[in-house]
Structure 1
Amino acid sequence: MPTTRPDTHAIAGMITRLNDPKYPRWAARLRATGGCRQPIHMRGRVLHVDRATGRLLHRYTTATEPEGVLHLPCKTRRASRCPACAEVYRADTYQLIRAGLVGGKGVPTTVTTHPCLFITLTAPSFGVVHTRREKNGKTLPCHARRDAQTCPHGRVMSCTARHGADESCLGEPLCPDCYEYTGSVLFNAVSPKLWQRFTDALRRRVAKTAGLTLRELRERLTISFAKVAEYQKRGVVHFHAVIRLDGPDGPGAPPPAWATVEMLTHAVQHAVRAVTVTVPSAGDEPARILRWGRQLDVREITMDGELSDQAVAGYIAKYATKAAECVGTLDRRINPLDDLTAFNLRDHPRRLIAECQRLGALDALADLRLAHWSHMLGFRGHFSTRSRHYSITIGSIRDERRDFARTEETSTGRLPLFDEDTILVIANWEYAGKGYSLGDALLAAALTGTALHASPTNGEGDAR
C-alpha cells in the first residue's frame, strides 16, 4: 500500500498524541468513525430534558473530548478520498440493488418473478486506443494490423504489444493528435440527457408494443431501474443498469402477462438506437449529434443462472465508489486559471481536462458547465441513481443504521430512553474543521491500516 514518508514533524506529533492522557478516548473516537481518513470536526453540545419537569436527564458536550471536537465520518463515496467511508457506501449500494432483485428491507420477495435485465450502454469510439484483449485466457496483441495505415501525423495505427492489466498506456490513443477529444468530453457532458431520453424512449416503445398510450401504460405497468456510471480508461463513461418490469403499484404488484423479458429486450434495443442529443455549434465548433455506442450488452438476470442477483449487485456497487481516477485525472475541482503542467498528469487526461476548459469558455456551451466539471472530464451527472419504485434508498439504510446505534446506546444506559413526547432534545453544533494533523494522520494510518494522507487540512483549508 503506497504511503508518504513521514517527516520529523509528523513523528513528533504522533509521539505527542500517544503521550496525551486523552489518547484512549481519541483512539476510541477514531474507531467510532470506522477509520475515516478525513473526519469532520464538530463542536457543540446535546441536552436531553424532561418536558414535564424540566429536569436535565443527559448532557453531552465536546468540551471533554480531545481538542474539544467530535469526529464524524465524512461519508464520501469516493474510494480515492476515504476507503473506509467508501466501503460503507459500497455495501449500502449493494443492499439497495439486491433488495430490488430478491426482495427484503420492505421489498416483497415476489419481485424475483418479475422480468429483469442487466444492460450496459457504451460510448461511441473517438479514436483508436491501447487496449488489453484476451481470448481463451491468452492475451492478444493490442491492435495488430498488417496493412495498418499511417495517420496524417505520421504515426502507424498499429500496436503489436500484449499489454498487462496495469499498464498506464491502456485507454490512451495511438495518436493523440487524431483523437476526438472534443467529442469525448461532450459525450460525457450530455450522457445524463442521453440516459433520460433512453428511459423515455423505452417507455414509449413498451407502450407501442402493448398497443397502449403512455397514460394507459402507467395504469398497467411500472418500469423500474437502478443504474451506475463507470469510467472507461479512455476517459468516457458508460452506464450499467438493472431494468425491471412491475405492476402499476411497483414491486408489490405483478406485471401483466404480456410484459416479458423478450418484449423488454426488444424495447431496450430499439430505444438505444432511437435517441440522440444535439450539441449546438459554438465558435469554430460545428453542431454535433451524439448517441450511444454500437456495443450494447443486454442479459437477463436469473436467481440461479450465470448472471445472479449477487453478481449484479456486487458489480454495480463496485463502481458506485469510483470516479475518473482510472483515467489519471484529479479527484478535486480544477480552477480554470490553474497551470495544468504543474500537476502530475499524463498527456491523455491533461488533454481531456484542457478541452473541457476550452469548451467551457464558449458561451453557447455554458449550460454544460464543462470547466466546472473538468476534473470529471465533462461528466456532471449522478453516478448512482434509481427510479422511485425500484427499492429502498441509501437514506433509509443510513436511518436504519442510526436507529440501531441509538437502540444500543439506550440499552446500555449511555442515553436515556428516547421518547419525543416526554423528552426534549436541545442541540447546538458548529463546524470546526476536517481531517487530521500530520502526526494524527500517521497514527491513524497505523491503527486502521489505511494509506497516509499527505496533505491533511483543518477547517480553513490550511495544512496543520
Structure 2
Amino acid sequence: MATPEDTPSQSDSTLSGCIRPFLTKSGLTVRCQSRVRSQCPSCAELYRGDWAAIARSGVFDGPVQNFRFYLLTLTAPSFGRVHRVPKAEGAKVSRCGCGARHSVTDANLRGVPLDEASYDYAGLVAWNRDSGLLWDRTRRRLRDYWPSVEFFVVREWQDRGALHLHTLVRIARAEAPRPALLGESARTANAFSKVDGAFVSWGEQGDCQAFRADGDGAKAIWYLSKALNYVLKDAVRASGGGARSWGHLARLSTAARMVRCSPGCVPRDCPSHTHTRYGARGHVVSASRRTKNRTGWSFTGMTRKRQRELRSEWVTAQAARAESAPAEWAVGVLEARAGRAGRELRSRVDVLP
C-alpha cells in the first residue's frame, strides 16, 4: 500500500523542495515563491524554468520565418566614475581612472566609485526608481515605429548598483529594421519622472544585435541563455567584496531610504520596497502579453499563471491515479527512488576514496 509519504500531496509535490512554505488564511500551504536562489533554491529554479519556457515560446513556438529577432541591451547613465575591474582571469585590462591596472583579485573595488564623496548616489537610486517608466516610454516609441514588436525583458543589476536591461525583441520581417537603427531608437528614448519631474534617459553604452531562430538555433539558444542567466541573481546584490564594496552598497541603501517613491511619499515612514532595493521596483523579468490585437511575446499565450494551473492539474491527476491504484503507485515510487539513488551513486564514483 502507498504510504502518505509516497502518495503525491500538496506537501511533497507542489511544495517539493521549498524550504520555507507558508500557510495562507484559507488554510492552504503554498510555496514561498522566492526567485532568489540564496533564499530558496527550489522556488528560484522553478521561477527560472517558467520564464525560460516563456522566452523560448516567443522564439520557437511560432512561424519564425516571418520574424526577425534581436537582443537589445540598455544601460543606466553615469553617476560618477567607478573602478574598472575585470571579471575573469585573462580578460583584457585597461588602465583604471585611479591609475592602476586591476586584476580579478581587486573584486572588492568592482563598481566602487573613485570618489565616493562626489558620487551621485541620490541620482542613481532615483534613476532605478524611474527606470520602469523609462522602459515604458521606450516600448511605446518602438511600437510607434514598428507596430508588430514584442518583448521579453530581463533586468540585471550592475556592480555599481544600477539596473540595465537585456531585451529579446521580435518584429515582423516585413517591417524589421537594421539592428543599429533599432538600438539607437531605443537608447535615445526618454521620460520625465512622475515623482519629481527629473529628466530620465538611458546611458550612452548600449547594444543591439540580430539573431536567427531558424537555421542558426545554437546562436539563438546562446542569446536566450545570455538573457535568462540573470534571472536568479539577487535583486539586491550580495557582494562578495571587502569593506570598500560593502561601504558603497551601504551608501546606496541610505540614499534609497531617503528617496521619494511617489509624490506624496514620506520616505522615513514608507513601507515600499523601493526604499530597500536601491530604488528599484517592479518585476525582474517580464514579457509583453497577448491582447485582442496583439500576439504577445509567447506565440502560445503561455504565462506563469497558466504554468501554475498546469502543475496543479498534473498533481491532482497523479493523486487520483495513486488513489485508484495504490499498489502500482507504490511500486512506481520505489522504482523511481531506486533509479535516482543509482544515478547519484554513479555520479559520485569519481570522488569516492
- Whose helix fraction is larger, Structure 1's or Structure 2's? 2
* TM-score (ref. length: structure 1): 0.58
Q: What residue identity is the alignment partner of 1:228?
A: V
Which residue of structure 1 lines up, in the alignment, with residue 151 of structure 2? 225
Which residue of structure 2 lines up, in the alignment, with residue 158 of structure 1? 99
**Equivalences for residues 36-435 of structure 1 within 5 A:** 36-41=18-23, 71-103=29-61, 108=62, 110-133=63-86, 137-140=90-93, 143=96, 157-164=98-105, 167-206=107-146, 221-246=147-172, 257=174, 259-262=175-178, 265-278=180-193, 288-303=198-213, 304-305=215-216, 308-326=219-237, 328=239, 346-360=246-260, 372-388=273-289, 389-391=296-298, 392-413=302-323
- The 1:376–1:245 alpha-carbon spacing in structure 2 relative to 1, beyond 3 Å, is same
**Structure 1: where are the runs of 5+ without partners?**
1-21, 46-69, 146-156, 207-220, 247-254, 282-286, 330-344, 416-464
Paired residues of 1:276 and 1:289 also in contact (CA < 8 A): yes
Paired residue secondary structure (1:326): coil
Paired residues of 2:190 and 2:199 also in contact (CA < 8 A): no
- The 1:404–1:135 alpha-carbon spacing in structure 2 relative to 1, beyond 3 Å, is closer
Q: What residue identity is the alignment partner of 1:309?
A: A
Which residue of structure 1 lines up, in the alignment, with residue 16 of structure 2? 34
Whose radius of gyration is greater, 1 or 2?
1
- The 1:409–1:293 alpha-carbon spacing in structure 2 relative to 1, beyond 3 Å, is same
Paired residue secondary structure (2:17): coil
- The 1:243–1:265 alpha-carbon spacing in structure 2 relative to 1, beyond 3 Å, is farther
Paired residue secondary structure (1:116): strand
Paired residues of 1:229 and 1:240 also in contact (CA < 8 A): yes
Q: What residue identity is the alignment partner of 1:407?
A: A
- The 1:280–1:273 alpha-carbon spacing in structure 2 relative to 1, beyond 3 Å, is same
2-structure distance, mates of 1:370, 1:185: 16
Aligned length in residues: 306
Paired residue secondary structure (2:134): helix
2-structure distance, mates of 1:23, 1:305: 48
The Cα shift of 1:383 comes to: 1.3
Q: What residue identity is the alignment partner of 2:176?
A: T
Q: Deviations over 1:225-275 (max 9, x none)?
A: 1101111010000011111124xxxxxxxx5x3x1242x651441232142
Paired residue secondary structure (1:314): helix
2-structure distance, mates of 1:111, 1:269: 25
Paired residue secondary structure (2:77): coil
Q: Deviations over 1:362-395 (max 9, x none)?
A: 967769x796422210011221111121111111
- Whose strand fraction is larger, Structure 1's or Structure 2's? 1
Paired residue secondary structure (2:160): coil
Paired residue secondary structure (1:185): helix
2-structure distance, mates of 1:239, 1:307: 23
- The 1:95–1:135 alpha-carbon spacing in structure 2 relative to 1, beyond 3 Å, is closer
2-structure distance, mates of 1:242, 1:138: 27
Which residue of structure 2 lines up, in the alignment, with residue 422 of structure 1? none
Paired residues of 1:205 and 1:271 also in contact (CA < 8 A): no
